[in-house]
Each structure stands twice: as C-alpha cells, then as structure tokens.
A and B are shown apart, each in its own frame.
Chain A
Amino acid sequence: EDKVVQSPLSLVVHEGDTVTLNCSYEVTNFRSLLWYKQEKKAPTFLFMLTSSGIEKKSGRLSSILDKKELFSILNITATQTGDSAVYLCAVEAYGNKLVFGAGTILRVKS
C-alpha cells in the first residue's frame, strides 16, 4: 500500500527561526513529489520534485528530494507569522493520483 508520512505532526517556532519539515514515502512507480501550503482555504502549490539532489527554491522556502532514501525536506528560513499553515506532502504514484501525508501544522509565534 502506498504511504506518505510527514513529521513532525505539529511545530511551534518563533519568528526568525528556521524550520525543517520531513516527508518520507513508500510508493510503487514513483513519479514526483509535491509540497502544498494550506491556510484556512485552498491548498496552494509550492514545489514539485522529480530528481534527487536538485534543490528547488522560492524565496525563503526550499526543498530537496532523496530518491534513494525515499524522503524529502521542506526548509523555511527566517520564518514569519504568515508562514503559519498546514504543509502537505504528496507523491504521484500512479497515473494522476496523488497520495497525501497527514500534514505538518506549523505555527509561527511573533
């Protein structure tokens, strides 16, 4: 059975801290891994990763994939209160279907 596990389940940090969110997976026919950010509305797309070792970066957010060890990390540097959200990891395993992890709840305190 395809499985995506995110850790930690929740996290509280102070503004300015750096956080690392983890996503490990066990899927057949891996094609890509995606990160989404979900505030009190629609999940919004952050990154798609298909190749090991290539960092994707957008502002203070970055992500990297390790296909040998079957995991990805999402880093957020200099966190801001606006980064507070649920971060979702999903893996495309078969066709167009995505398998999602349970999410990491991040709260950034001012």
Chain B
Amino acid sequence: DVKVTQSSRYLVKRTGEKVFLECVQDMDHENMFWYRQDPGLGLRLIYFSYDVKMKEKGDIPEGYSVSREKKERFSLILESASTNQTSMYLCASSPDDFQRNIQYFGAGTRLSVL
C-alpha cells in the first residue's frame, strides 16, 4: 500500500511565524503535490514537483514556497504565516507512469494561524 505521511495532524501557529509542513511518501513516486482544502472551494493546488529539486507553481502559490531535496520528501513552507492561511493542507504523490494521474493523499494537516 502507498503511504503518504504528513508530519502533523494539527498545528497552531502565530501570525508572522515561519511554518514547515512535511510530507514523506514511501512508494518511490516521482510526483508530489501540495493542496489546501477550504469549505466550498475544494482542493486547490499550491505547488507540485516532478523530480528532486524541481518545483512548479500551482494555482495559489502566493505566500508559500516548497523544497524537495530528496525524492521521498516534499516540504511546504509558509514564510510568514497569516490568518488567511488557516486551512487543511493535503500532500499527495503519484508515480510517473500510466497511472500518473492517480494521486495518493496523506491524512492532512489542519493549520490554525492565530
């Protein structure tokens, strides 16, 4: 079974703090993704990566950055957290083959910024 692990289920931070959300997958997948999920808006893509050290902006990258130093790990960074970044953050991965569009998700990190 594919396992995508996010480091924290719940996180509370203060405005202006630097926040790191970590995601690790154990299936040697090339592709990794970060989404945020808000009620009524569904999942929106923040950043994704096709390979180590590669990153691409998604639909809502403002206020976020990412790091992929190793194939299995994809980190989302909030440089200076703001209250409008309070959300559920989901990480996903997919292989780079004929099933590349089937993404496997982690359990999510619910971030509250106070």
Query: A-side interface residues toward B, CB under 8 Å?
Result: 4, 6, 9, 31-32, 34, 36, 41-45, 48, 88, 90, 92, 96-98, 100-103
**CB proximity to A under 8 Å, residues B38-74:** 40-45, 48, 50, 58
Instruction: Determine the chain B residues whose CB is within 8 A of the CB of A98 once the complex forms.
Output: 43, 45, 101, 103
B residues 2-17 touching A (CB-CB < 8 Å): 4
Contact A48 B42 (CB under 8 A): no
Give A88 to B35 CA distance when docked, in angstroms.
14
Residues of chain B having any CB pair with chain A under 8 Å: 4, 31, 35, 40-45, 48, 50, 58, 90, 94, 100-108
- Complex contacts, B107 vs chain A, CB 8 Å: 41-42
Please report the C-alpha to C-alpha distance between residue A48 and residue B102 in the assembled complex, in whole angstroms.
Answer: 8
With beta carbons under 8 angstroms apart, the residue of B48, B102, B105 that contacts A97 is B48
Closest chain-A Cβ to B34's Cβ sits at a distance in Å of 12
Cβ-neighbour of B4 out of A9, A31, A42, A96 (below 8 A): A42
Contact of B101 among A32, A36, A100, A101 (CB under 8 A): A32
Which of A36, A43, A88 gathers the greatest number of chain B CB atoms within 10 Å?
A: A43
7 closest A-B pairs by CB: A100-B43, A42-B105, A102-B42, A100-B42, A92-B101, A43-B105, A42-B107
Q: Is the CB of A42 within 8 A of B108?
A: yes
8 more A-B residue pairs beyond the given contacts A45-B102, A48-B101, with a C-beta to C-beta distance below 8 A: A4-B42, A43-B90, A44-B105, A45-B103, A88-B42, A96-B31, A97-B45, A101-B42
Instruction: Given A88-B42, A102-B40, A103-B42, decide whether A96 and B105 contact each other with a Cβ distance below 8 A.
Output: no
Chain A residues lying within 8 Å of B41, measured Cβ to Cβ, are 102
The distance in angstroms between the C-alpha atoms of A15 and B43, with both chains bound, is: 29
Query: Could you jot down 9 A-B contacts, CB within 8 Å?
Result: A42-B90, A42-B107, A96-B50, A96-B94, A97-B48, A97-B58, A100-B42, A101-B42, A103-B42
CB-based contact B50/A42 at 8 Å: no
Find chain B residues with CB under 8 A from A103 CB.
42
- In the assembled complex, the Cα of A92 lies from the Cα of B94 at a distance in Å of 13
